[in-house]
Amino acid sequence: MTTAPVDVDTARRDYAALVERGLSLDITRGKPSPRQLDLSADLLTLPNGQYKAEDGTDTRNYGGLKGLPELRRVFAGALQVPVDQLFAAGNSSLELMHDTIAQAMLSTLPGAPRRWADEPRIAMLCPVPGYDRHFALAERFGIELIPVPMTETGPDMDVVERLVAEDAAVKGIWCVPKYSNPTGVTFSAEVAGRLAAMPAAAPDFRIIWDNAYAVHHLTDDEPELADILALCAEAGNPDRAFVFGSTSKITFAGAGVGFFGASEANLAWWQSVLSKRTIGPDKVNQLRHALFLKDADGVRALMRKHAELIAPKFAAVDRILTEELSDLASWTKPTGGYFISLTVPEGTAKEVVRLAKEAGVALTPAGATHPYGNDPADAVIRIAPTFPELAEVEEAVRALAVCVRLAVAQRA
Amino acid sequence: MTTAPVDVDTARRDYAALVERGLSLDITRGKPSPRQLDLSADLLTLPNGQYKAEDGTDTRNYGGLKGLPELRRVFAGALQVPVDQLFAAGNSSLELMHDTIAQAMLSTLPGAPRRWADEPRIAMLCPVPGYDRHFALAERFGIELIPVPMTETGPDMDVVERLVAEDAAVKGIWCVPKYSNPTGVTFSAEVAGRLAAMPAAAPDFRIIWDNAYAVHHLTDDEPELADILALCAEAGNPDRAFVFGSTSKITFAGAGVGFFGASEANLAWWQSVLSKRTIGPDKVNQLRHALFLKDADGVRALMRKHAELIAPKFAAVDRILTEELSDLASWTKPTGGYFISLTVPEGTAKEVVRLAKEAGVALTPAGATHPYGNDPADAVIRIAPTFPELAEVEEAVRALAVCVRLAVAQRA
């Protein structure tokens, strides 16, 4: 990226004209659009009177801690977790991640010397730019957040290996391994292999493998993701990975099903703590999903329809950024997932977000992609183009470009 | 209760004949029967294509941490919690109780000097006989369980007041205030008032008010339950009570909605920790419930139909126990809830449960009604008559009586 000089007067005039228009647009969060949600309209009448699971279980009643086998089977392949090692749970994988960490705080994990609440210090590695809710979840438990740089192939493994080998307080690393939030990067096989095999000072080190976008392709060029559970087992660290996924961006964002997969030892631990918390998940909703999605092909067909709706929005962002900001900024060109990561000249991201807000365009706060909201370069802005209509996305990104040009001009 | 001598030979002969029959019956858990679940069959097609909440919220998408207002309104009266102070959550109130305690372990409660995980010792009072899942949930966090006797009007408040005033490690008391599990007792206004007003050595003492059977009447003689949140506020202890409820035994046991109510300060605390865990509950299921139940009268009408199905089962248990065990045992005659508590002669409950199991009748383990599974008198057996068909309930209770007579005869 070059940073050609921007004419301040032009930038000011353009921005004034923008404010004049009184826009009200929002590209902050990775939410599916109403049209995407319409794709799963059948869920609003299913299970259509049916309540028996394939094994005869009455889904309306208590029980079934692991979730319905027929739904776990639909997602075992996509999440790369053997069916027997995959739990289907409530409506959110975020809460599953939260709860595995909360339970690790309060109940000794397999391999752990003690419960995390009794550790003098706990830290987790946070590839940046990354997912703000991961960071907030960990920070809230008093866990120290250590940023590590993302590369084109995943987190910088030289840095990760050094920190994990040296510091026994480092208990985990946050990963969105496929179509990463917000960079769109899919971890390479080499990165996954090194994560699985690296020596860890903490015997209870965990990889939080948030495979949120496992099937969320925007193109037919689908990257292969390494099987982290298998790699960990092969490397002699069978209990190292916690795998998460959900249907939040497949069916309904608020009324889907979350999944948790791990080793037998981790699952025995999980089942023992979970059984004190609940008598079982909402199996009717799981049946509803199993009947709707049917199998992995059903998921694949549904995701193609999602791509048809959202790929044009990603293309529009790329096109407009190319037209407007080629001289000033760089951005990712993801082939899946929900985000584009825009890198503006150092020291301008916060100002861009502020200017955009005043012009009626809501952006995720600058810095949100970094632990403690602190992007030292003040350069990363996350763009979430899925929720608004295409025309609104276009308008928002053109407005964003005006704000970038002004912020850069003001700084110069 | 008198303990008339039982003829050993007769008892043995009766038991042998019972075993001979090869029964397979289960009166262990408080589960609704399939016929009860059928009452809510509409939930298997609702929301019938609809997805907008009354305020226009798209229930399919993310958001709405507190849950749908229209559903919270349906239950605010029954749970005696102002709508604004009532959260509608996932499919279980047990998990809400678990999570409030887990969060109290990890995040300082309003009024608390520190998080519970950093306390050298934590204890909770457990009225006995009580609910085994409450006890297991607390025990799992290393919380010490202190039994206090139940009376006809609630826990023995002289004992409770002394323990709570003297011991700052006592952080809470488990309560099922209406149609208590398993005694059927509804706490009197005096008991509720004393709970709300008693001096507590722990500034963060909490009443866990598990109002699981708020609307679960078996007769038209509906006891009035005191409003614990109001009583606590009046007594100057506004943050003392956590109120829980759910639709588990109103609609679907596995696919209902749980509720949590508390003071503004407690809710601010809850919202701050919850917001790191989830973006919101399953609002589609909440909409489904709101459309189905409509209002408090809808709940009342539905609960009448439940009573029509299960009251005959409770009556049958009472009738058969009267016929068979008047000379040996005593039992509760609840006017609501899900359980009958049977008291057999001291030192025989475990043996009764063992004998019943060998005769093919599954009973909740003796002692389950007490912390650590330890009923010092070995005398309490919980009967759950709702799930089996009426004829099976009758058969199971007749079998149970045979086992009681043999256990008593053997002991003599």
Provide the pairing of β-strand A258-261 with A241-246: antiparallel
pLDDT for the residue numbered A248: 97
Q: Which token pair is A17?
A: 């004209």
pLDDT for the residue numbered A64: 96
Are the Cβ atoms of A279 and B254 closer than 8 angstroms?
yes
Bridge partners of B380, per DSSP, are B343
| Chain B residues whose beta carbon lies within 8 Å of the beta carbon of residue A40 | 60
Per-residue pLDDT band for B296 (boundaries 50, 70, 90) equals: very high
Residue A243 included in any domain = yes
Rounded (10°) angle between helices B390-411 and B349-358: 130
My answer on whether A172 and A185 are in the same domain is yes
- Mutation site, B107, B273, B277, interface A, largest A CB count within 10 A: B277
Contacts for B113 with CB less than 8 Å, ≥ 6 apart = B203, B204
Q: Of A276, A294, A312, which residue constitutes the final position of a domain?
A: A294
My answer on whether B376 and B227 are in the same domain is no
My answer on whether A136 and A69 are in the same domain is yes
User: Quick one: which of B353, B345, B342, B295 has its CA closest to B318?
Assistant: B342
My answer on whether A179 and A210 are in the same domain is yes
Provide the pairing of β-strand B25-26 with B361-362: parallel
| Chain A residues whose beta carbon lies within 8 Å of the beta carbon of residue B58 | 34, 37
Q: Is the peptide bond before A120 cis (omega within 30 degrees of 0)?
A: no
Closest residue on chain B to A135 (Cα): B276
My answer on whether B387 and B241 are in the same domain is no
| Chain B residues whose beta carbon lies within 8 Å of the beta carbon of residue A32 | 61
Q: Residue A129, exposed/middle/buried by CB under 10 A (0-12, 13-18, 19+)?
A: buried
User: Quick one: which of A262, A122, A136 has its CA closest to B117?
Assistant: A122
Residue B37 included in any domain = no
Are the Cβ atoms of B41 and A34 closer than 8 angstroms?
no
- Mutation site, A51, A131, A250, A292, interface B, largest B CB count within 10 A: A51
- Mutation site, B29, B42, B57, B62, interface A, largest A CB count within 10 A: B62
Contacts for B323 with CB less than 8 Å, ≥ 6 apart = none
My answer on whether A106 and A239 are in the same domain is yes
Residue B280, min C-alpha distance to chain A (Å):
7
pLDDT for the residue numbered B5: 72
Residue B286 included in any domain = yes
Closest residue on chain A to B32 (Cα): A61
Distances A207 to A200, B166, B382 between C-alpha atoms, Å: 11, 45, 44
Instruction: Tell me which H or E stretch contains B72.
Output: helix B69-79
Residue A91, min C-alpha distance to chain B (Å):
6
Between B94, B102, B254, which is nearest A106 by CB? B102
Between B51, B107, B254, which is nearest A59 by CB? B254
Are the Cβ atoms of A284 and B252 closer than 8 angstroms?
yes
Per-residue pLDDT band for B3 (boundaries 50, 70, 90) equals: low
Q: Which token pair is B339?
A: 């359980």
Instruction: Output the 3-class SS for chain A.
Output: CCCCCCCHHHHHHHHHHHHHCCCCEECCCCCCCHHHHHCCHHHHCCCCCCCECCCCCECCCCCCCCCCHHHHHHHHHHHCCCHHHEEECCCCHHHHHHHHHHHHHHCCCCCCCCCHHHCCCCEEEEEECCCHHHHHHHHCCCCEEEEEEEECCEECHHHHHHHHHHCCCEEEEEECCCCCCCCCCCCCHHHHHHHHHCCCCCCCCEEEEECCCCCCECCCCCCCCCCHHHHHHHCCCCCCEEEEEECCCCCCCCCCCEEEECCHHHHHHHHHHHCCCCCCCCHHHHHHHHHHHCCHHHHHHHHHHHHHHHHHHHHHHHHHHHHHHCCCCEECCCCECCCEEEECCCCCHHHHHHHHHHCCEECCCCCCCCHHHCCCCCCEEEECCCCCCHHHHHHHHHHHHHHHHHHHHHHC
The residue segments making up the domain with residue B128 are: 46-294
Q: Residue B70, exposed/middle/buried by CB under 10 A (0-12, 13-18, 19+)?
A: buried
The alpha carbon of B194 is separated from its chain's Cα centroid by a whole number of angstroms, namely: 21
Closest residue on chain B to A37 (Cα): B60
Residue B155 included in any domain = yes
Check if the beta carbon of residue A329 is closer than 8 Å to that of residue A321. Answer: yes
Are the Cβ atoms of B106 and A117 closer than 8 angstroms?
yes
Q: What is the rounded distance in angstroms from the CA atom of residue A136 to the CA atom of residue A368?
A: 10
Residue A83, min C-alpha distance to chain B (Å):
22
The pLDDT > 90 percentage for chain B reads: 98
pLDDT for the residue numbered B145: 98
Q: Which token pair is B191?
A: 């008991």
Q: What is the rounded distance in angstroms from the CA atom of residue B93 to the CA atom of residue B95?
A: 5
My answer on whether A118 and A266 are in the same domain is yes
pLDDT for the residue numbered B6: 84
Would you call B151 helix, strand, or coil by DSSP? Answer: strand
Between A41, A136, A254, which is nearest B59 by CB? A254
Residue A380 included in any domain = yes
Residue A228 included in any domain = yes
Provide the pairing of β-strand B340-343 with B330-331: antiparallel
My answer on whether A316 and A252 are in the same domain is no
Residue B293, min C-alpha distance to chain A (Å):
17
Distances A366 to A53, A57, A129, A133, A372 between C-alpha atoms, Å: 47, 49, 11, 14, 11
Q: What CATH number corresponds to the domain at position A407?
A: 3.90.1150.10
Between B62, B253, B281, which is nearest A253 by CB? B62
My answer on whether B283 and B311 are in the same domain is no
Closest residue on chain B to A100 (Cα): B277
My answer on whether B277 and B303 are in the same domain is no
pLDDT for the residue numbered A29: 86
Structural domain count of chain B = 2
Are the Cβ atoms of A45 and B40 closer than 8 angstroms?
no
My answer on whether B25 and B145 are in the same domain is no
Contacts for A77 with CB less than 8 Å, ≥ 6 apart = A296
Q: What is the rounded distance in angstroms from the CA atom of residue B210 to the CA atom of residue B133?
A: 12
Check if the beta carbon of residue B61 is closer than 8 Å to that of residue A37. Answer: yes
* pTM of this prediction exceeds 0.90: yes
Closest residue on chain B to A44 (Cα): B49
The alpha carbon of B387 is separated from its chain's Cα centroid by a whole number of angstroms, namely: 16
Are the Cβ atoms of B276 and A136 closer than 8 angstroms?
yes
Q: What is the rounded distance in angstroms from the CA atom of residue A389 to the CA atom of residue A21?
A: 18
Q: For each of chain A's 412 residues, which pLDDT tens digit applies? A: 445 578 999 999 999 999 999 999 999 989 999 999 999 999 999 999 999 999 999 999 999 999 999 999 999 999 999 999 999 999 999 999 999 999 999 999 999 999 999 999 999 999 999 999 999 999 999 999 999 999 999 999 999 999 999 999 999 999 999 999 999 999 999 999 999 999 999 999 999 999 999 999 999 999 999 999 999 999 999 999 999 999 999 999 999 999 999 999 999 999 999 999 999 999 999 999 999 999 999 999 999 999 999 999 999 999 999 999 999 999 999 999 999 999 999 999 999 999 999 999 999 999 999 999 999 999 999 999 999 999 999 999 999 999 999 999 998 7
My answer on whether B77 and B150 are in the same domain is yes
Q: Of B294, B324, B358, which residue constitutes the final position of a domain?
A: B294
Q: What CATH number corresponds to the domain at position B52?
A: 3.40.640.10
DSSP B344: P
Residue B39 included in any domain = no
- Mutation site, A50, A62, A66, A124, interface B, largest B CB count within 10 A: A62
User: Quick one: which of A67, A270, A261, A259 has its CA closest to B140?
Assistant: A270
Q: Of A264, A294, A324, which residue constitutes the final position of a domain?
A: A294
Are the Cβ atoms of A255 and B59 closer than 8 angstroms?
yes
Residue A38 included in any domain = no
Residue A339, min C-alpha distance to chain B (Å):
17
pLDDT for the residue numbered B4: 59
Between A92, A102, A285, which is nearest B279 by CB? A92
